[in-house]
Structure 1
Amino acid sequence: MAKEEVMTFEGRIDEVLPDGRFGVRLENGHRIIAYTAGRMRRFRIRSVVGDEVRVEMTPYDLTKGRLVYRERGGGPATSGQRKRR
């Protein structure tokens, strides 16, 4: 059996929700709820409001998606590394 086809869209995070979810406004104007993909969680990639992201969605539910990539330089400037005490 073939794997399901996923659709990929570009968007911008407009709201941070609890439990690792985000409100994302897609480039076509639709708003969806997206969660952080496992690889982004594993490498501790942080996303904030204003970040440009790539979202994968299944054709069965067009209101939910998975954040798979965060564009560099899309959001507010960050220091890069945290200071250790």
Structure 2
Amino acid sequence: MSKEGVVESRGVVEECLPGAIFKVKIFEIRAGEDYITIPSEEERYAQCTISGRVRKNRVRILPSDIVQIESSLYDLNKGRIVFREK
């Protein structure tokens, strides 16, 4: 069950920037119940911060980690990391 007005997607952390910001290359966007894969020639990046739950549990996020992010419908270039996959 997703929140209203939020787009969920998956991506790979490309770079760690100062101030706990991460550059994430998005490779799948969730539409309804299934994910839509983005073609490799259409690279899409987002600058993401860590959500409170991930920060509270001290989850370590490094480059090349696969993460799930949430973005606003109005600005897909900024988001929040909500889960790091194993």
1:52-63 correspondence to structure 2 within 5 Å: 52-63=66-77
Provide the aligned length of Structure 1 versus Structure 2.
Answer: 70
Deviating 4+ runs (over 3 angstroms): none
Structure 2 unmatched runs, 5+: 28-37
* Counterpart residue identity of residue 80, structure 2: R
Partners in 1 of 2:8 and 2:77 — Cα distance? 13
- Following TM superposition, by how much is the alpha carbon of 1:19 offset from its aligned partner in structure 2, in angstroms? 1.0
Give the TM-score, by structure 1 length: 0.78
Aligned to 2:13: 13
Greater strand proportion: 2
* Counterpart residue identity of residue 76, structure 2: L
- Following TM superposition, by how much is the alpha carbon of 1:31 offset from its aligned partner in structure 2, in angstroms? 0.6
Q: CA RMSD in A?
A: 1.1
**1:40 maps onto 2:54 in alignment:** yes
Give the TM-score, by structure 2 length: 0.77
Structure 1 unmatched runs, 5+: 73-85
- % of aligned pairs identical? 37
* Counterpart residue identity of residue 36, structure 1: I
Partners in 2 of 1:70 and 1:41 — Cα distance? 11
